[in-house]
Chain A
Amino acid sequence: MKESKLMLIQYATAVVAVALVSIHLIMQGVLYPYSTAISFGNILSIYRNGLYALFLESLLVVVLVHGFNGIRIILHEWKQSAPWSRWVDLGTVLAIVASVGYGTRTVILAIFGGVSS
């Protein structure tokens, strides 16, 4: 993918992340008291509401793509060579896939898994 497109992705994810993170913080500290927001029952109800679950998954993807693409940009600023670029780009894709995968696993298990004590 062209570097210009990757930078556009960086800016687009930044704008979306500002909106999504703001909503996330409002849910954690404005809509409810913090102690209620992090209670087991409240979090379970959030995960099991389809819209909220979709919101959390979007937040996960947008923030991780923005974050790892940002690291990629820093690493490209640091050093420039064709092999370095290839490894950095490959590492970025792998890091995004692994971290989004792990986060998505949490979302899926929270929605469909059986509750244990």
Chain B
Amino acid sequence: MNSDGSGRAKNKRGIWGWLNPYHYNLERWAYVFQRVTGVAILLYVLGHLGDTSFFVGGPTGTGPSHSGWSFIGSIFENSFGHLVLVLVVLVLFFHGVNGVRLILSEFGLIFKKPGPIEYPYKARSLSSGQKYLIWVGIAIALAAAVWALLVLFEGMG
């Protein structure tokens, strides 16, 4: 029993529970990746805010600066920087498509009607459409990453 006397189990696993894959199904993996990719994208966006600010000379700049932009280009415009961008595109597209799936399910648009719980105890609410959308998200993300790879590495060799 908890200190509040409710008898409910405490949320002891917290966000670290995301990293425990025991008994995960596809939807659970999608849940974890939605959050992990969300945090990764936000970190990238904050970094991108920082690097684009060098277009105006960085934090102390006063206007468009050729030297500031060349400086930031010399750091990020290389194979490693482009590989990071390919990964960003990969997670961005997965996050976007999976996010649309989550919105559709939040508003009940892709749910099956709930029914009695019977063996083999699979949740009927998780329609095959949801599973397809997760795979569609993965496929679109991979295709977008290949596209980014071609765009970014074109002419580098």
List chain B residues, Cβ under 8 A from A11.
Answer: 103, 106
Known: A18-B99, A99-B46. A113 touches B39 (CB 8 A): no
CA distance A91 to B56 in the complex (A): 28
Contact size range, A = 35 or more
CA distance A21 to B100 in the complex (A): 14
Q: Which of B46, B53, B66, B100 contacts A40 (CB 8 A)?
A: B66
Q: Cβ of A40 and Cβ of B42 under 8 Å apart?
A: no
List chain A residues, Cβ under 8 A from B147.
Answer: 29
Q: Cβ of A33 and Cβ of B154 under 8 Å apart?
A: yes
Q: Cβ of B55 and Cβ of A106 under 8 Å apart?
A: yes
By beta carbon, the residue of chain A nearest B64 is A115
The interface residues of chain A, by DSSP majority, are classed as helix
List chain B residues, Cβ under 8 A from A109.
Answer: 56-57, 61-64
In the complex, which residues 57-87 of chain A have their Cβ closer than 8 Å to any Cβ of chain B? Answer: 60, 63-64, 67-68, 70-71, 74, 77-80
Give 6 closest A-B pairs by Cβ, nearest first.
A113-B63, A67-B42, A109-B56, A29-B151, A114-B63, A115-B64
| Interchain Cβ contacts under 8 Å between A and B, 22 examples | A18-B96, A29-B151, A33-B154, A35-B155, A40-B69, A47-B64, A67-B38, A67-B45, A70-B39, A74-B35, A102-B53, A109-B61, A109-B64, A110-B64, A113-B56, A115-B63, A115-B64, A115-B65, A116-B57, A116-B66, A117-B66, A117-B67
